[in-house]
Every structure is written in structure tokens, then in C-alpha cells.
Structure 1
Amino acid sequence: MVERKHDREFVRTFFTSPTAVQGEDDSAKMIRSASQLSGMQAPDVWVPDNEDATAPSMREEGAENIVEVVAENGADFPGEIHPRVVWHRDSPQTRYQGFQQMMTIMDPEGGAAEHIDGFVIPEVGGIDDWKKADEFITIIENEYGYEEGSIKMSVIIESGLSELAMGDLPDEMVKRTNNMERMFLLVDGEVDYTKDMRAITPSGNLPPWPELRHNTSRGASAAGLIAVDGPYDDIRDVEGYRERMKENQAKGMLGIWSLTPGQVVEANKSPLPPQSGSWLLNVGDQQVELDEEDGRQVYRGDALSLAESGDGYVLTVGNDERELDEEELSKELLDMAEYIPSMNDIVDSMEEFEAAKEGGKGAIAMERSATIVIDGVEVDISNDRMWDEATYQAAMTPISLFQDVYENRPDQHEDLADLYSEDILERAMNVGA
């Protein structure tokens, strides 16, 4: 069985910065700026990118820039630092260049190594190629006197070979003939993956690749690692970025590549439980958030209408008109409704279940009710959901993520206090203990 070696259980943000920019008085300006980010603008994992983001002619200087900047600012950077070096499954020369870059960065005399947490290896192939990278890192650890396995290794899934290799990880990571337990992140690289798969779309845009994201999340779960989605290139499309993260989170992929500090802020906040709960109505292919007014949930859309008719009601959804009695209407709206619990709601439910479990109960019913208002007509809905140990453990995931963030990112405590009350923060840190 694979045993996790890393303290971090969640990574929300994977932020890349070019290590050397041509034509600038200070070629390290981008990573110098990134190294000074803090709070919600600072990623969980910062990636000084000495591969695709940096021109080939600048990569030697880029490695030297990493050493200079990380030696200067690495101690104060609040996240982990994982430079991306060059690598390619089909090019021994490129792999050797990556090895040289890692040697430069990890040389203790440069002063950066003590702040470097690991390396990101792109363009990997089958599992034997992953093991070559692991062996290079092991050589570096022995050359400079670091403990074997102490430098983390993450890979970018950019080919069919590397996608298939994820299935070999659980068996390889327990072998004593390598140090593959150093593995940390599995990151999707949809651009090069699209090229490798020879995929074509009419518009030329990237395919969504939901299968790749599912497979990466599954591979990370099987090997005790962390899955991260690839870059979302349309940096102005905030809603699209949020929707992508929402889809990912339903797959268990809680991390995403961030291209700007603005995307970092969105991705840092996205998987955290919301400050307040909200009700949604699923109307056709739309999901509409209801407005809370005086404890009631008000629908303001035009795809749904409701009117009283004699002893019953007429509910119209699009072109479908139905006559319903009070009980039927309540059931219909209950089927359409969805509740997004707040941090306080989740903590309340978990504390209630923990108290019941201490009292000898294995399962309890949790009630959720609301008054929905459509066209001025009020309808009460209510349901009971059974909570058992499995439900409790599933609800623990967002709380565990919050606890991981709170413990590892003290620079975000002030931001979290702005989101939640001090009472909720304290209770959330204690639940599940």
C-alpha cells in the first residue's frame, strides 16, 4: 500500500511564471514579482517555469534567476516552490538538460535549495521515463547530501503514454528499487495532450478532455497524490474558470493551474465552503440561485411561473403546464431544488453527527427546509437526509481542505477571518479531531 510522505493533502493553485524574460533590464522580473505574492494572491504551489514559459535561449539564465530570486525571497514565500525544468520522453539530450538545471538550482552554495520543495517534470512518457527523472533527483540528493526522497517530484500528463502510466504508480511507488514515493502532483497539460492525441476540433479550440481530468483524479487517488487541472487560457472569462473548477471538484480534482494572480485568488477561494448557504432551482438546463428575503427563497427568473387555481396550483415550466395540489407541488419543487450548505451548516451537521455517535447512534436524520416564493406564491418544502459514517466522511472533505489551508497558509488567516466568523473558524478546526 502506498504511504503518503507529504504533509500537504490539498493543492488549490498551481501558478507558473517565466524564469527569464528577453529584452528586460531585469530578466528575472516575473519570478521576482511572483516570489513576493502573499495572502489569497499567493498560490499553494508556485512554479518558476524554465520550460514552455521561457525561451530556449534564456533557460540557462532562467535557472540562475531561480537561484537568485529564491535565495532572496524563498524564506518568506508562503506556498511551496516547485520549479519546472525541461524534459522529454523521446530526447535524452533534453532530459540531460533538465538534470543540469536541477543541479544548478539545488547547489547548496546558491542559497536557494533550502527553499525548494520539489520539481515539476513535463512531457513524461511511460512509467520507466518517470523513474529516470526520479533517478536523476536521487543522484542530486546524494551529490549534495540531501536525504533520499526529500525532494518532491510532480509530473505533467501530456501524452497518452503518461496517462496510461498513472495506472502503474501504486505498484511502482512501493518498490525499494526507486524513490518514487517522492511523487506529489499529477498535473494535466491539455495543450500538448491534444497534440499527442492528434485531436481536431472545428474551431481549433482545445477539446474539454473530461476523460483525462477524470483519469488524472483517479490516478492521484489510487496513488495518494494530488490532482491538478491544466491552464484555463481565457484569463478574462472568470465565470468560465469558476465553472471549470466546479466541474473538476465534482471529479475530486480540487486544484487547477493559474496563469495570473487574479486566477490564483479565484482558485484559492473556489473549493472553500461558502460563507452563507444558498438555494438553487434546476429549471430545464438552467440552474438559478434564489434570492433570500425575510427567510424566504424568492425565484426571479422567467422560465418558471406559478399561480393559484381553485384548491390547487398551476406550475408552468417552459411550455409545460401542470395542475398540482399542494403536496404534489411541494414534491415537484423539492425535486427541482438544491441546497449549497455554508461552512456553518457543514460544521453544525458534523457536530450533530459526532454528538449522536458518542451517544451510541450509527445514523441520524438531518432536516432541511425552506419556503420558496414564485410569482408571489409561497410553497414550503422539506426533506430528511440520513447521515451515517460514510456521509460524515464525505462531508469531511471540504473541512479537511479548510484545515489543511489554515495550517499551511497562515498568510491567509486574515482573509479567512473576513470570510468566516472567529467562532466558525475555531469550530471548523476542531471538528473531526
Structure 2
Amino acid sequence: MGIDKRTHDREFVRTFFTTPTAEKGVEDSAKKLRGGIGLRGMQAPDVWVPDNEDATAPSMRGEGAENIAKVVAEGGADFPGEIHPRVVWHRDDPETRYEGFEQMLTIADPERGAIDHIDGFVIPEVGDIDDWKKADEFFTLVETEYGLAEGSLAMSVIVESGAAEQAMTKLRDEMGKPTNNLQRLFMLVIGEVDYTKDMRAITPTGSLPSWDEIRHNTSSAASAAGLISVDGPYDDIRDIEGYHERMTDNQSKGLLGIWSLTPTQVVEANKGPLPPEDGYWLIEAGDREVKLEDDDGVQVYRGDRIGLEETDDGYVLTVGGDRLELDDDGVREELLDLVSYVPSMGDIVDSMEEFEAAKEAGRGAIAMTQAATLRIDGVEVDVERDRMWDEATYQALMVPISLFQDVYENRPDQHEELAAMYSEDVVERAMDVGN
């Protein structure tokens, strides 16, 4: 089995959105489920997770499983994403594992009418690889009980312990063995709150550690096993800038999906991994990168960390506490080290089409030029750099294009919003690149 290749229809998941399944003391205990299944466009997640575990009180979980079946039966056919309910499970508790099995039986019962719209289940609190196999066996039993095709229900796990983190390293050896159906695995999702508890980690403020290692390890394991990796929740739901920073850092690790707690976060996470509508320039100003302001084609820096003065002999460039006296070539070289360009979707498509044309003409590599006029303290300097494009560069830039193509193919409800973001022409050309 080629486990380096994706084994499910979706190649990317941007958004993993959880919803409580039952609430006590309200007229309709399934009200939030009805709201979740009614989401459309950028507000609708790629994967919707009716959450019958942490988001639902233990006393309401029996009713929650029934609510999932009822709501999905009524509205699942029209939901634009995938539906993967989370059931209860725990590596150290057989009773909890059996309760999760019973929840799956309730939700998947064909007589309830939901199973045609259920793509799989999410299993929390898994332990070592044998525990993953126990969960897989319950999936097989559910499929057998209801005459479903073996492996038709996808299994996703939430990595919330050191044992689960270690188990991820064994997936390549275990998947495909005749003694299990672990090929059904779909997503590896980070559950950093319980992971912090399991690791007995302490921070002075009581906040969660950044856990860069588990984020890297989950992304690496997903890549090695042909799965999809998803980061855990960002619980400061008002901090949109912090959410974006988290997603940007994740994307540099190949971790393109993230847990979303609100419809607002869903919108941000749906758009976050996609190339921007317009390209822009960044400049390193101290310990952060600052977006330059576009003033009729001139890229303007308005901060106070960088200064530029023109003299009779050339320029004086001030960066923080450093003062550099430079000639024309020297100032261009220093500024090129400070700036970088973030390409738009249109820029990426233009470059890929140009490389495809060059390759068709028999050239294996071409130079792509990026140029800008920078203005700092009223002084303007023209800079440009050439980047060599070869097949490896082309394939690396196919990742955001492949993501866009996957989104466009799987989320027709977002077509209008994507066309409004990029224009019909760019969308059409992006869908043709690489084909």
C-alpha cells in the first residue's frame, strides 16, 4: 500500500469545527447542532464535528448521540463539508471505550437515516498503537453490524498524550497489515490541553506551552502515513491576530488545518492557508516583519526602526542601533536582505504558467524577477532580485495551488466567494495549472 499518498477524497482540511450535541434546560437540546449543520460558504468548515465528548455534559451524551442522528438525517445531504462526530473514548477506561462504541452504533444505525451523510468518527484520548487498533476494531464491528463496506467509515484521532504521540511514529509499519483496518485513518488532530496535562507541563502563568514539537511531529506523521494533520483549538477567540500568527507558523510546518471554535474562526481558517488576493512586500523591522504600504506602486515604510538618508556620497541606512554608510549597490543589497515578497494567487499562477511554457519549450529552469521601489523617510530606492525556478520550485509552489484546487472541487458553496476574492479569470487559470 502506498501510504505516502492520500487515501481519502479530501487532500486538505483547513477547518475542524466542533459543536455541542445536547444542552440541558433549553426547549430544543439540539439547537446548536441545527445551527452548525446550516452553515454555508466560508462560514462552513471543511470538517464539522458534532462533539459528544468534551463539549457535551456526560449526562446529556445519550441524548446527544440521538440528536446527531436526527439532525444529520434531516440536513446532512445539504451540508457542504464532511461530518465526523466525536464520541467518547479513553485509553485507560474500558467502560468509556464501550460507551463510545454504543454512541457509534446509535449514530450509524441505518434506520435513523444519518449514516449516508456521516463520513467517519473522531476518537479522543487514544493511547499506544494497540489502543488505536481497538478503536479500529469497533469501527469494523459497526460496519459489520449495519452491512456497511469495510473501511467506509473514516477514523480520526485526537493526540492528547505522550503515548499517542509515540504511536504516530508506528503508523507506517502498522497501516496495511491484514490484522487491522488502520487504512481508515483520516486526520491526526492535536489536543493540546489534555496533552499538557498528560505531560505534567507547568508554565508560570498557567497558560499552555507552545508545543512546537507536537505540532511538528503530528505534521510529520501525517505526511509519512498519507493523512491530514490538524492543530488544536486557539481558545482566545477574540484574538484574531494571534489566530493568524498561529496559522502562519503552522503552515510553515505543513500543518494546514486548525481547530475552530466559532464561525468567525472558521472564516479566518478557511481563508488563512489560501494565497492572498493581492501580493505585498514585507520588511524586517527589529524582531518582526512589517507590511509595507503600497502608495501608487511604491512600497512605503512608515515605522521608526529603519531610517534612510541620502548623502553626497551615497546613503546612510539605520537599522535599529546600526548605522551603515553605503553606495548605490550597497544600499540595494542591504535592503534586499530586509525585504521579502508575498505573492498573490494571481502572481503564483502567472509564474507557474510561465514555467510550464518554458518547460514545454524545452527549458528546465528559468529566472523569475521580483522588483519594487522602496520609500523610507522619503528616499526611494529601486530593488530587484532574480529567483531561479526549476521543477523542484514548481512542485513546492503547487502546494497552495493544490490546496485551492481541492477546496474548489470539494466546496462548491464557496465558489462565489473565491471568485470575488481572486476574479473569475484567476480562478479558472488556477484550476488549469498542473493539469
- SS of equivalent to 1:332: helix
1:78-97 alignment to 2 at 5 Å? 78-97=80-99
Partner residue, 1:346: 348
Q: What is the identity, as a one-letter code, of the residue corresponding to 1:15?
A: F
In the aligned structure 2, how far is the partner of 1:121 from the partner of 1:32? 22
Which of 31, 34, 45 is equivalent to 1:32?
Answer: 34
- SS of equivalent to 2:371: strand
Give 1:140 shift: 0.7
CA contact (8 A) 1:281 1:338 kept: yes
TM-score by length of 2: 0.99
Which of 273, 276, 281 is equivalent to 1:274?
Answer: 276
Q: Deviations over 1:267-326 (max 9, x none)?
A: 000001111100000122121111111211111111111111112111111221111111
In the aligned structure 2, how far is the partner of 1:72 from the partner of 1:325? 71
Give 1:178 shift: 1.2
- SS of equivalent to 1:369: strand
Partner residue, 2:376: 374
In the aligned structure 2, how far is the partner of 1:208 from the partner of 1:97? 33
In the aligned structure 1, how far is the partner of 2:248 from the partner of 2:228? 17
Q: What is the identity, as a one-letter code, of the residue corresponding to 2:99?
A: Q
- SS of equivalent to 1:130: helix
Q: Deviations over 1:66-122 (max 9, x none)?
A: 011000110110000000000000001100000000000000000001000000000
In the aligned structure 2, how far is the partner of 1:177 from the partner of 1:196? 30
CA contact (8 A) 1:37 1:77 kept: yes
Partner residue, 1:361: 363
In the aligned structure 1, how far is the partner of 2:425 from the partner of 2:31? 41
In the aligned structure 2, how far is the partner of 1:411 from the partner of 1:161? 39
CA contact (8 A) 2:40 2:79 kept: yes
Partner residue, 1:389: 391
Q: What is the identity, as a one-letter code, of the residue corresponding to 1:312?
A: G
4+ runs deviating over 6 angstroms: none
In the aligned structure 2, how far is the partner of 1:4 from the partner of 1:416? 25
Q: What is the identity, as a one-letter code, of the residue corresponding to 2:299?
A: Q
The range that moved more, 311-320 or 156-165, is 311-320
In the aligned structure 1, how far is the partner of 2:178 from the partner of 2:357? 44
Q: What is the identity, as a one-letter code, of the residue corresponding to 1:360?
A: G
CA contact (8 A) 1:273 1:398 kept: yes
CA contact (8 A) 1:46 1:81 kept: yes
- SS of equivalent to 2:197: helix
1:203-214 alignment to 2 at 5 Å? 203-214=205-216
Give 1:376 shift: 1.0
Partner residue, 1:283: 285
Give 1:5 shift: 2.2
Across the aligned residues of Structure 1 and Structure 2, the Cα RMSD in angstroms comes to 0.7
Give 1:4 shift: 3.0
In the aligned structure 2, how far is the partner of 1:262 from the partner of 1:421? 24
Partner residue, 2:420: 418
1:7-406 alignment to 2 at 5 Å? 7-406=9-408
Q: What is the identity, as a one-letter code, of the residue corresponding to 1:272?
A: L
In the aligned structure 2, how far is the partner of 1:243 from the partner of 1:303? 21
- SS of equivalent to 1:64: helix
Q: What is the identity, as a one-letter code, of the residue corresponding to 2:200?
A: R
- SS of equivalent to 1:307: strand
CA contact (8 A) 2:7 2:226 kept: no
CA contact (8 A) 1:4 1:181 kept: no
CA contact (8 A) 1:20 1:59 kept: yes
Give 1:206 shift: 0.5
- SS of equivalent to 1:27: coil
- SS of equivalent to 1:239: helix
Q: What is the identity, as a one-letter code, of the residue corresponding to 2:92?
A: D
CA contact (8 A) 2:229 2:257 kept: yes
- SS of equivalent to 1:184: strand
Consecutive unaligned residues of structure 1, counting only runs of 5 or more, are none
Q: What is the identity, as a one-letter code, of the residue corresponding to 2:38?
A: Q
- SS of equivalent to 2:169: helix
In the aligned structure 2, how far is the partner of 1:414 from the partner of 1:16? 25
In the aligned structure 1, how far is the partner of 2:90 from the partner of 2:267? 32
Q: Percent identity?
A: 72
In the aligned structure 2, how far is the partner of 1:282 from the partner of 1:298? 13
- SS of equivalent to 1:257: strand
CA contact (8 A) 1:228 1:257 kept: yes
TM-score by length of 1: 0.99
Q: Deviations over 1:162-201 (max 9, x none)?
A: 0010011111112122111110000000000000000000
In the aligned structure 2, how far is the partner of 1:382 from the partner of 1:32? 53
Give 1:359 shift: 1.1
Q: What is the identity, as a one-letter code, of the residue corresponding to 1:210?
A: D
In the aligned structure 1, how far is the partner of 2:280 from the partner of 2:66? 50
- SS of equivalent to 2:170: helix
